[in-house]
Structure 1
């Protein structure tokens, strides 16, 4: 069992990490590795935020998911079935529900002339076949229609194969984690699902729990990682568009994950910021689930009000996060049952 202080440190991370996910999706940069960037104010901000600090969010979420799945009891068939049943309620059901809502929103909006231009693109719901609907709802062979749910899809896969992963990290931890780290660092993907990032950090979480290690075990040494991480982060505009840029960014993330965990222990044990983060930690899944396609709509509408590209980039995710925090609070008060359904019983 982790103590209350460590539990609170992880809970305080949830809202900032989800904010990071929203900022990742607010970026308009081409995919990393597609060439050098023309640096202006907006591009610089995106490289440091969306393609810099925010990139720590997904690995840390997978790390925590693996850490909290295992527990201290011996793994058994009955325990495994309980885990599958619980994750079907907390992961599978909300994924299908939110994707179905997005599917309905896209279909209705594409059919109406006044809103069709905001939902234009290659995804034309009227032309969908059975496989298209399978992908839209579950991400069987492509991204779900609410694309952020690739994370939940991959997490479900990790839970399904978790007994094999647990056996591997117990029997041959160095070989298992080194292999997964190599696939991630080299951006190699010998299997379609899950992403190497998901497999690596989920397995590290499983390994830590199986060995009785805290996710904060590196706290005493992490201050030595802070400066290399900051140097790589600030150098992102120079290296990310280069052939070796992806490898350096993976190194930056590997350094940044323990740094982010360490920073949660530096704050005061009390204070308004801490209370706010703990109070709204439960809103993180709702923000994750609902921020798209809302963010896309806001990004398309804002330029008609604000002409500065940098301001649009910074304001769009802030508007979405604040709106969803308020919506979460209101819906939680008006209909707790509906909120629990939308938030996967959270």
Structure 2
């Protein structure tokens, strides 16, 4: 897990660097500045393979490794809750408090001093309802298209910690079901992930890969050895075919073909971890960078993005775009359309 932690976080950043016409429309509806959206077909497919493709293994693997380690340590429920309160709940509360000040307190100050820098200066924490706070801190706001529920508004990426906390709390029931119905419960979790079926309190992807991690740890499945037997050409071929099919005939994200692609991407990255472990210098580098993983995860959006847009973006005009391909390899906060200085303020 150490060899993959930083790499997986970088892939999470890439995930947040992918935009579609639908996601851009939601950004505009929220009053935010739309990102640079490249229409070039080559760039479009590069983005698909990176941000909709291989990067989609990142969060599933985090859930699977977390559940595996939980199963192997086999702590008592009380000890488990104490550990997760320190490693999950405390960081969640801390960062949400920082973001609440960023969006709430800091916005009140700016609204008084320089309201022209705000898109909606009238919308402050003083006007938020209790339900608004729930949506901002925890999420669960129904999507307008009826496709499910939104992520925490303060920092969407924190849905991972939210769902992991919930899954840890209910893990005694989950483990009991696994022991009682080992084949049937796995088949159930796999089916609702592949179809896919939307769940309410946790994402279906989180549920399935957490269950898979528990099976892995509880039954000592030799996962790495099994994956190591798979040939690179075999798994890469399956991945490429699944990506092309998912985004041509398969319907795109959150479809059966896309979810098979997610599994193939997980196999690729787990197989790649063996390469990292075998290279001593490479493993040392990844182990060192792993210490910065959570900080990058927490700060890459929205804090850095917002600060960047408000302090740097006004310097560049619409004619000064970076080469089309370059923004694909930049974090989310660098992949935004540069506002025209002559455009009217929001």
After TM superposition, the score normalised by the length of structure 1 is 0.76
Residue aligning to 1:312? 327
Runs of 5+ unmatched residues, structure 2: 26-37, 142-149, 336-346
What secondary structure, in the 3-state scheme, does the structure 2 residue paired with 1:194 have?
A: coil
Describe the shift of the 1:316–1:100 C-alpha distance in structure 2 as closer, same or farther (beyond 3 A): same
What secondary structure, in the 3-state scheme, does the structure 1 residue paired with 2:136 have?
A: helix
Describe the shift of the 1:99–1:123 C-alpha distance in structure 2 as closer, same or farther (beyond 3 A): farther
Given that 1:67 and 1:205 are in contact with CA atoms closer than 8 Å, whether structure 2 keeps it comes out as yes
Residue aligning to 2:52? 51
Residue aligning to 1:332? none
Describe the shift of the 1:119–1:264 C-alpha distance in structure 2 as closer, same or farther (beyond 3 A): farther
Query: Structure 1: how far apart are the matches of 2:64 and 2:118?
Result: 36
Deviation at 1:92, TM superposition (A): 0.8
Residue aligning to 1:328? none
- Given candidates 194, 209, 216, the residue that maps to 1:208 is 216
- Given candidates 289, 293, 296, the residue that maps to 2:298 is 289
Deviation at 1:125, TM superposition (A): 2.9
Given that 2:70 and 2:214 are in contact with CA atoms closer than 8 Å, whether structure 1 keeps it comes out as yes
Query: Structure 2: how far apart are the matches of 1:151 and 1:177?
Result: 21
Describe the shift of the 1:119–1:187 C-alpha distance in structure 2 as closer, same or farther (beyond 3 A): farther
Given that 1:67 and 1:206 are in contact with CA atoms closer than 8 Å, whether structure 2 keeps it comes out as yes
After TM superposition, the score normalised by the length of structure 2 is 0.76
Query: Structure 1: how far apart are the matches of 2:91 and 2:176?
Result: 29
218-227 vs 293-302, greater mean Cα deviation: 293-302
Cα RMSD for the two superposed structures: 3.2
Deviation at 1:226, TM superposition (A): 3.0
Deviation at 1:317, TM superposition (A): 4.6
257-266 vs 61-70, greater mean Cα deviation: 257-266
Q: What aligned pairs does 1:52-201 form with structure 2 within 5 A after superposition? A: 52-71=53-72, 73=74, 79-111=76-108, 112=110, 114=114, 117=117, 124-139=124-139, 143-144=151-152, 145-189=154-198, 191-201=199-209
Runs of 5+ unmatched residues, structure 1: 1-9, 321-346
Describe the shift of the 1:122–1:48 C-alpha distance in structure 2 as closer, same or farther (beyond 3 A): farther
Residue aligning to 2:342? none
Query: Structure 1: how far apart are the matches of 2:50 and 2:118?
Result: 26
What secondary structure, in the 3-state scheme, does the structure 1 residue paired with 2:200 have?
A: coil
Given that 1:110 and 1:120 are in contact with CA atoms closer than 8 Å, whether structure 2 keeps it comes out as no
Deviation at 1:56, TM superposition (A): 0.7
Q: What aligned pairs does 1:184-263 form with structure 2 within 5 A after superposition? A: 184-189=193-198, 191-223=199-231, 224-234=234-244, 237-239=247-249, 242=251, 246-263=255-272
Deviation at 1:41, TM superposition (A): 4.4
Residue aligning to 1:343? none
Given that 1:29 and 1:46 are in contact with CA atoms closer than 8 Å, whether structure 2 keeps it comes out as no
Describe the shift of the 1:299–1:173 C-alpha distance in structure 2 as closer, same or farther (beyond 3 A): farther
Residue aligning to 1:11? 2
User: Which whole-Å deviations, capped at 9, do the CAs of 1:101-130 have from their partners, x for residues lacking one?
Assistant: 111111245332557756659975332122
Query: Structure 2: how far apart are the matches of 1:42 and 1:15?
Result: 25
Given that 1:110 and 1:116 are in contact with CA atoms closer than 8 Å, whether structure 2 keeps it comes out as no
User: Which whole-Å deviations, capped at 9, do the CAs of 1:279-325 have from their partners, x for residues lacking one?
Assistant: 111211111111111353346755854503543343235979xxxxx
Query: Structure 2: how far apart are the matches of 1:27 and 1:121?
Result: 28
The count of residues paired between Structure 1 and Structure 2 equals 302
Describe the shift of the 1:116–1:194 C-alpha distance in structure 2 as closer, same or farther (beyond 3 A): farther
Deviation at 1:268, TM superposition (A): 6.5
Describe the shift of the 1:177–1:304 C-alpha distance in structure 2 as closer, same or farther (beyond 3 A): farther
Query: Structure 2: how far apart are the matches of 1:289 and 1:222?
Result: 35
